Structure 1
Amino acid sequence: MSSPVYLVLGAGPGLGLAVARRFAQGGHLATLTTRLQEEADPLARTLSEEGYAAEGLAVDLTDPDDVARVVATVGERHGRIDVLHFNPSAWREKNVFELTVPELLEDVALGAGALLPAVQAALPHLHAGARVLVTGSAAADKPSPAAPSLGVQKAAVRNLVTSLDATLRERGVRAVAVQINGVLGKEGPFSPPPIAEAMWSAVSRPDDDWTPHVAYDG
């Protein structure tokens, strides 16, 4: 068998890179995807220069077909996907008097809906013991009045994880949303490294101790 594969959709230089690094430290090949190839390459190069196996790919998370294509490509290339990490969200600073229905649906399609084609494409490559990991947020319970679509995204994706976990468990695969109950920062308990450690711990649990939702309170 090849090395385990960690695939993150919606990577960035902060939390996304930190979580990828943590899984790389655990022996995974880290595959980081961003909207543009020129954004993904530096992230992968950072990990490679630190001595880890990493690669970068571009994906349009607003296009279900492209999501499916990229996930399937990774699975077929390596023969497995051990951790599928869904990390995107859309921040739209429009309050409930300004936000339109098309804008709300567009944001939810990115921050929650894109998880569906990703899991469906990954399914042939998710063996028993594989995990689906989702970055959650306190916005699911305490949405910002300035950007309510984020709260809808996070509530929706948390709900979707419940259904995914109940369905995937028949295959020996589990899904979890790690809800970050704090504001991300550069230092302290809500900085990327400790959150990355919490995500590693969440997916490393045995099935006997599994829950589809984990709260990270710092």
Structure 2
Amino acid sequence: MAFALAGKVALVTGGGRGIGAAIVTRFAEAGAKVIVANRTVEHAEDLADALSARGLDAEPLPLPGTGRAELTQLVDAIAEKHGRLDILVHNAGGCPWASLEELDEEKLDAALDINLKATFWLAQAAIPHMKRQEHGRILVTSSVSARVAMGGGAHYSAAKAGVNAFIRGAALELARTGITVNGVEPGFIAKPGRGKMGTPEMMTKLGAAIPLGHMGEPDDIAYAMLFLASDEAKYMTGQTIVVDGGSTLPETGFAVEALWGEQQ
């Protein structure tokens, strides 16, 4: 089986819904034991129950927060219980949107804590366990917002750009240890929790502006993560895979309209 993860132990943060749930599901189907860490633990429990009913191996846990001590305790407890930690996926993320003029310290800290700082703390906690195994995969859900801009999201873009820089720096540091570090940059993905951007009208408008003509699905990200977690990606490190339906290709939205506007 391609992209097999049999015998692997994986931790996925933000794994209860949307992209995270898709990652958990694909990893479990590939044979991994997946720890589903989610802030709303009920979502993790529902997913784990559904996977268990299919004979797959998933275990729900509450995601305790974004601090160094609590995330280290989470990782250490998983490694101690299961005897190893092969794959870390930091997928939890997001931020409260605000214009630059309205941005306050609380919103900035929230964006940096969950998207960027938690990436450092989780990876730092996982490294000793992976070093002992001489093998590991550290993966992060980044965003195309790391390379393109959207009004009201400068703090989110800055955090995700920091994630991409982390991926390169950590990959270089760990290259001789058997640990690879990579990420996926999603574009517009149809998933729960998008608020006004998740209405049918807005999704139609967004889809029309994407070269492939529609928004992506959580599985589009999950399959990229599955590849990066597998032995087939053993010679990749310090990279991000952009999965965006081509949305970062046009110079402007007018280019899409000029090419396909009449077909939408």
Equivalent residue number for residue 258 of structure 2: none
Q: Are 1:21 and 2:25 counterparts?
A: yes
- Displaced runs of 4+ in structure 1, greater than 3 A? 186-189, 205-211
Equivalent residue number for residue 241 of structure 2: 214
Q: Are 1:178 and 2:184 counterparts?
A: yes
Question: What is the deviation of 1:61?
Answer: 2.8
Which of 202, 206, 213 pairs up with 2:228? Answer: 202
Deviations 1:145-199 (A, max 9, x none): 122221112111111111111112221100001112x210269671012221111
Q: Compare 101-110 and 203-212 and name the one that shifted more.
A: 203-212
- Calculate the TM-score normalised by the size of structure 2: 0.75
Query: What are the ranges of 5 or more consecutive residues in structure 2 without an aligned counterpart?
Result: 1-5, 192-206, 208-213, 246-264
Equivalent residue number for residue 134 of structure 1: 140
Secondary structure of the residue that 1:75 maps to in structure 2? helix
- In 1, Cα distance between the equivalents of 2:141 and 2:83? 25
Question: What is the deviation of 1:25?
Answer: 1.2
Secondary structure of the residue that 2:176 maps to in structure 1? helix
Count of equivalent residues: 216
Secondary structure of the residue that 2:142 maps to in structure 1? strand
Equivalent residue number for residue 60 of structure 1: 64
Equivalent residue number for residue 153 of structure 1: 159
Equivalent residue number for residue 74 of structure 1: 78
CA contact (8 A) 1:8 1:86 kept: yes
Secondary structure of the residue that 2:216 maps to in structure 1? coil
CA contact (8 A) 1:79 1:125 kept: no
CA contact (8 A) 1:143 1:150 kept: no
Amino acid at match of 1:41: E
The root-mean-square deviation of aligned C-alpha atoms, in Å, is: 2.0
- In 2, Cα distance between the equivalents of 1:170 and 1:110? 28
- In 1, Cα distance between the equivalents of 2:188 and 2:57? 30
CA contact (8 A) 2:13 2:89 kept: yes
Equivalent residue number for residue 123 of structure 2: 119
* Same amino acid, percent of matched pairs: 29
CA contact (8 A) 1:89 1:150 kept: no
Bigger-Rg structure (1/2): 2
- Calculate the TM-score normalised by the size of structure 1: 0.90
Query: What are the ranges of 5 or more consecutive residues in structure 1 without an aligned counterpart?
Result: none
